[in-house]
Homo-oligomer: A and B are copies of this chain.
Amino acid sequence: MKNKAITPRDVDFAKWYTDVIRAAKLADYSSVKGFIVFEPNGYAIWENMQKILDDKFKELGHQNVCMPVLIPESLLMKEAELIEGFAPEGAWISKAGGKDLEERLMLRPTSETLFSDYYASHLQSYRDLPKLYNQWCNVIRWEMETKPFLRSREFLWQEGHTLHETKEEALSETLQMLGVYRWFFEEILAIPVLTGRKTEKEKFAGAEITYTIESLMYNGFSLQSGTSHFFGQKFAKAYDIKFLSRDNTLEYPWQTSWGVSTRMIGAVIMVHGDDNGLVLPPNIAPRQVVVVPIGNEEKVVETTNKLLSLLKDAGIRCFADFSQKSAGFKFAEHEVNGIPLRIEIGNRDLEKNIITFARRDTREKINVSLDHDLIAEVKKYLKDIQNNMFETAKKRNEQKTYICDNLDQVKTIMQNNPGYVKALWCGDEACELKMKEIRGTKARCIDEKHKVDKNGKCVVCGRHAKYMVVWGVQY
């Protein structure tokens, strides 16, 4: 039984994606062009993401703050690369409170400038370091083509901004947070990721090094899913952030920033979803289990309520669906919404002393005896669903990973069945631009573990290669 509101994903993946978002009531377009409304089902996923990441950030000593949503133009101008990178997407306020402003204000596209400005006036001594600040907020980038969650004029995110006494500490923070993101994607979102360094062309405006986590969607397209930047002392110098060092001299601190956004919701949809709608990994699902009574016989209602109360006591996020809709309708609805495990309780089953588990990931139905420890069974299946979703995605990534040594191979793959292409690169931007001609293929990241031997040749120009790069068609 296919969901008729959803275009099959192999027919038209882009249409499938927006169909799932509407059918699962995650988000909708708003009357403000390029802006979406996060509906309850979508926002609840974001709340879970926030909660889990925020706890982890705090465990690692980070503190939350909140900077202004507007940035004066003069403040932006202090770091040339950043303003060049973001000016084309800027939204500007020039009138407020009934008056023309003396200076234009940009809606924040990212907050390096504001954090740097704040740090410049609050940092005094090495004793104040490290500064480990983060904020959860909305940002605005005036994208020309938008797609819900993936590329929207407003999105929600967290941006960590830290200052350190030494280069080593800042580098280690950059990599630590990349590791947190990897953990979050793999363990919580069940999404296997690549991590690595961005090329000069692809790195963040103003960063010395950008590390990225990349994920691969069902259709073989690549999604930049989170980044962690090492700034060196660049912003510190541009914004005059200094501290009195242990040697009693004024020094510039070392800076990082790192962020993930509501784009992660898009990744979850496109990695795990199927023709019946959303499929949520249990670790992030706002509702992990739905209990559906079939009919309203006393025994059925009683068993449903008893099970629900046991599940709640065990800390499992669950609810029962006592609505008047038909069982088939309910099943389809909970499937569209991606609820990992459905438990069906019917009179005929109860007579056989069983209830039925329906897994969302495999859509298998399993009879479970009431003599079993039901909480243990539910936990076992939730864990198994989580693992299976990760393994399925991992297997697909492996199938869609190719090694190429000439451009024709790359073209054939990217045009027909895209995925990750591993290919050597000379380090020259001209060759990156050549790759981009193939369906917008970009360097996802440099595989730093791969040492290029001396005979290695660039896949584009054939000259001596410096890096092994993973390439992908970009979302």
Tell me whether B88 and A64 are in contact (CB under 8 A). Answer: no
Q: Which residues of B contact A122 (CB under 8 A)?
A: 28
CB of A355 closer than 8 Å to a CB of B? no
Q: A427 an interface residue at 8 Å Cβ cutoff?
A: no
- A143 CA to B99 CA in the complex, in Å? 12
Q: Could you list some 23 contacts between A and B, CB below 8 A? A: A28-B122, A32-B70, A32-B105, A35-B69, A37-B118, A38-B66, A39-B65, A40-B64, A40-B133, A43-B65, A44-B64, A66-B138, A68-B154, A69-B107, A88-B97, A89-B97, A90-B97, A90-B98, A91-B97, A92-B96, A93-B93, A107-B107, A138-B138
Give CA–CA (A58, B190) in the complex, Å. 27
Complex copy number for this chain? 2
CA of A93 to CA of B97, assembled, Å: 12
Chain B residues near A37 (CB-CB < 8 A): 65-68, 114, 118
Residues 29 to 46 of chain A near chain B (Cβ within 8 Å): 30-32, 35-40, 43-44, 46
What residues make up the interface of A, taking CB atoms closer than 8 Å to B?
A: 28, 30-32, 35-40, 43-44, 46-47, 63-72, 75, 87-98, 105, 107, 114, 117-118, 122, 133, 137-138, 140, 142-144, 154, 156
Q: How far is the CB of A289 from chain B (nearest CB, A)?
A: 18
Query: Is there contact, CB below 8 Å, between A32 and B95?
Result: no
Q: Report Cα–Cα, A118/B31, bound state, in Å.
A: 8
Q: Which residues of B contact A105 (CB under 8 A)?
A: 32
Measured between alpha carbons, how far is A69 from B117 in the docked complex, in Å?
Answer: 24
A113 nearest in chain B by CB position:
B31
| Residue on B nearest A47 in the bound complex, by CB | B64
A421 to B90, CA, bound (A): 50
Closest-CB distance, A65 to chain B (whole angstroms): 5
A91 to chain B: which residues have CB within 8 Å?
Answer: 70, 93, 95-97
CA gap between A66 and B35 in the complex, in Å: 11
A69–B39 touching, CB < 8 Å: no
Task: Collect the chain B residues with CB atoms within 8 Å of residue A117's CB.
Answer: 30-31
Taking the closest CB of chain B, its distance from the CB of A262, in whole angstroms, is 9
Chain B residues, Cβ within 8 Å of A118 = 28, 30, 37
Instruction: Tell me if A65 and B92 are in contact (CB < 8 A).
Output: no
Residues of B within 8 A of A97 (CB): 88-91, 142-144
- A70 contacts across to B, CB distance below 8 A: 32, 35, 91, 154
- Choose from B35, B40, B65, B96 the contact partner of A38 (Cβ within 8 Å): B65
Is B40 a contact partner of A65 (Cβ separation < 8 A)? yes
Bound complex: CA of A71 vs CA of B32, how far in Å?
Answer: 7
Cα distance A44–B63 when bound, in Å?
Answer: 8
- Given A37-B67, A44-B63, A70-B154, 5 more contacts at CB 8 Å? A32-B105, A43-B64, A66-B138, A69-B138, A94-B94
Q: Inside 8 A of A69's CB, which chain B residues have their CB?
A: 35, 69, 107, 138, 140, 154
Tell me if A75 and B43 are in contact (CB < 8 A). Answer: no
10 cross-chain pairs, A with B, having the tightest CB-CB distances, nearest first: A97-B142, A91-B96, A40-B63, A35-B68, A38-B66, A32-B68, A96-B142, A92-B95, A43-B64, A91-B93
**Nearest CB of B to A137, in Å:** 7
Residues of B close to A156: CB separation below 8 A: 66
- Which residues of chain B have C-beta atoms less than 8 A from A142's C-beta? 96-98
Does A92 lie within 8 Å of B90, measured CB to CB?
no
Residues of B close to A72: CB separation below 8 A: 31-32
Choice from B89, B107, B114 contacting A30 with Cβ under 8 Å: B114
Measured CB to CB, the closest approach of chain B to A413, in angstroms, equals: 34
